Structure 1
Amino acid sequence: MPEPSSAQNPGEAVGNAGAGGTMDLAATEAETLVPGRGGEPDPGDRPRSLWSDAWHDLRRNPVFVISALIIVFLVVIAIWPQSIASGNPLACDINKSQDGPAPGHPFGYDTQGCDVYTRTVHGARASITVGVCATAGAALLGGLLGALAGFFGGWWDALLSRISDVFFGIPIILGGLVFLSVVTSTTVWPVVGFIVLLGWPQIARIARGSVLTAKQNDYVLAARALGAGSTRILLRHILPNAVAPVIVVATIALGTYISLEATLSFLGVGLRPPTVSWGIDISSASTQIRDAPHMLLWPAGALSVTVLAFIMLGDAVRDALDPKLR
């Protein structure tokens, strides 16, 4: 008969169990107690990341849900205004000047005899386009410059700080009156460019401070000790953990930029006809507020709801991403 192998030798099996076998048996036994298939941990028991944890909180926040639904509705009518207002916002009948609500025209008519409802719906496109594009431009420019200044420091940080101080000293309304008064374009892009020009320093300051904080964390020091380059450390370790404050500030600023566009259009230096804008309609209705208050009520109400929705969304995102509020 063949001799028993070493694995079949009871003495050796006991010896192995006495040395490391006991720990192996304990580990095997522990795996059988962990929920999940094949001894793997249950995905529900794994710790959530900052973003998944924030999304978990946002879905249960009524402020976020309400503001998000309003914003989605505004974005839809900004892209497809014909879905709820099939009329032409530039088609006017002077014989109906300042008339009140009528069948098919629930908001009445303005001074030129244009349908206020149609102009209010179509005005969402210009206002939201300015807000989204200006916020994206300011966030990208300010976030990039602030991240580089916070990461590299030195003369780059000092130069950015001095340039930011110069832009912080320029009043936004006065700067808009000077800068946009010489622009003859009737599109939204001069207004977007002006807002980006004066809006990036605030986001750059936030990004700089966030990068300075993240740069001192242990995982960044460990990556540097292991020989990781500056580009890898900045893109792989610092930016994903420093972008949350920038997103919060940009979300709140979006509503502010929409109101800034309306203010500049009200003063006559922002968007200009034939562009349809809430600011333009508010400006033309302000002189007739006693005789035809409906001309001012609807575009001003749409502007207020839009700005409030974005500010509420920013507050909800801030609460979800701030670990101090947990």
Structure 2
Amino acid sequence: MSLLSTTHRLKQQPLAALGVLLLTGFILCALFAPLLAPQNPAQLDLDGRLLSPSAAHWFGTDELGRDILSRTLYGARISLIVSISVVSLSLAAGLIAGCLSGFYGGWTDTILNVYVSNAFLALPGILLAIAFVAFLGPGLLNLILALAISNWVNYARLVRAQVMAIKEREFVEAARALGASDLRVICRHILPNILQPLIVQAAVGMAGAVLAEATLSFLGLGIPAPSASWGAMLNDARSHLFDSPHLVIFPATAVMLAVLSFNFIGDALRDLLDPRTRLSTGL
């Protein structure tokens, strides 16, 4: 029955199936990049600069003769590492701040929600990330920390709203009456009931993290050369946009498909985890 149910859901949501297929492809490319890449992504070949796609180089070569297919495959590693790490750190920080703010209220809520959250929201997230990376310097760890610092507030606000709604429910009051500690009430009774919107937000947040990483790498604030990054590849291709458009097409397509896959999965999870949507669509 579970297999039939899953097949039925995939038929009802073809975009979700497409998103899972695309994401699976990117994960496989990231995991097996050393086996799939035809060449070393950092290998220079000045005699083979700006070659068009051919049997020898399926995606062509860049201005330094590096194989674009190899660099695109290795770029999937950077994007997935950044997206998973950023969402994990942001979600962890947002869970702690949101639970404290929503559960205790009072001055705790005022300090975390009014002062701290609004201070981070005063600047657009991407500008905050740019300032952080520019101050500490480019690098994978600094990039992940910068994006996590600029994105945790969204999760904190969501967790706070969910906790404030759940903590007034009867089963939470019953747990308190039985003498359960605050930590047990939060971990045992509140967190399991707020996971659904967090999962959806995390899926959509990964799409935003892929775009943010590509943006910072495009600005020269991402992973230092010679590491392959989709954003850095787009930056290198700016001066050859018209004479060698394949330098832009393939990394830009990779970014687009990665973002689409996370968005499709996020939309599918929202419909799947929302009881009202399941009843209206018959999922």
TM-score of the superposition, structure 2-length normalised?
A: 0.91
Among 114, 126, 131, which residue is 2:78 paired with? 126
Among 166, 179, 183, which residue is 1:231 paired with? 183
Contact 2:137 2:221 in 1 (8 A): no
Code of the residue aligned with 1:276 in structure 2: it is A
Deviation at 1:252, TM superposition (A): 0.2
Structure 2 distance, partners of 1:145, 1:55, is: 36
In the alignment, does 2:93 pair up with 1:173?
A: no
Deviation at 1:55, TM superposition (A): 7.5
Deviation at 1:63, TM superposition (A): 2.5
Deviation at 1:173, TM superposition (A): 3.0
Deviation at 1:75, TM superposition (A): 1.3
Contact 1:89 1:119 in 2 (8 A): yes
Deviation at 1:199, TM superposition (A): 0.6
> What is residue 301 of structure 1 aligned with on the other side?
253
For each residue in 1:1-36, what CA deviation from the matched residue of structure 2 results, as whole angstroms up to 9, or x when unmatched?
Answer: xxxxxxxxxxxxxxxxxxxxxxxxxxxxxxxxxxxx
Contact 1:150 1:209 in 2 (8 A): yes
> What is residue 250 of structure 1 aligned with on the other side?
202
Deviation at 1:56, TM superposition (A): 9.2
Contact 1:57 1:320 in 2 (8 A): no
> What is residue 183 of structure 1 aligned with on the other side?
136
Larger Rg: 1
Structure 2 distance, partners of 1:90, 1:225, is: 63
For each residue in 1:46-67, what CA deviation from the matched residue of structure 2 results, as whole angstroms up to 9, or x when unmatched?
Answer: xxxxxxxx98985553322221
Q: Secondary structure at the match of 1:181?
A: helix
TM-score of the superposition, structure 1-length normalised?
A: 0.79
Contact 1:89 1:118 in 2 (8 A): yes
Say which structure, 1 or 2, has more relative contact order (CA 8 Å, 6+ apart).
2
In the alignment, does 2:226 pair up with 1:274?
A: yes
Code of the residue aligned with 1:294 in structure 2: it is H
Structure 2 distance, partners of 1:228, 1:178, is: 44
Structure 2 distance, partners of 1:230, 1:209, is: 18
Structure 1 distance, partners of 2:83, 2:70, is: 21
CA RMSD of aligned residues (A): 2.0
Count of residues in Structure 1 that have an aligned counterpart in Structure 2: 274
Change (3 A) 1:308 1:112: same
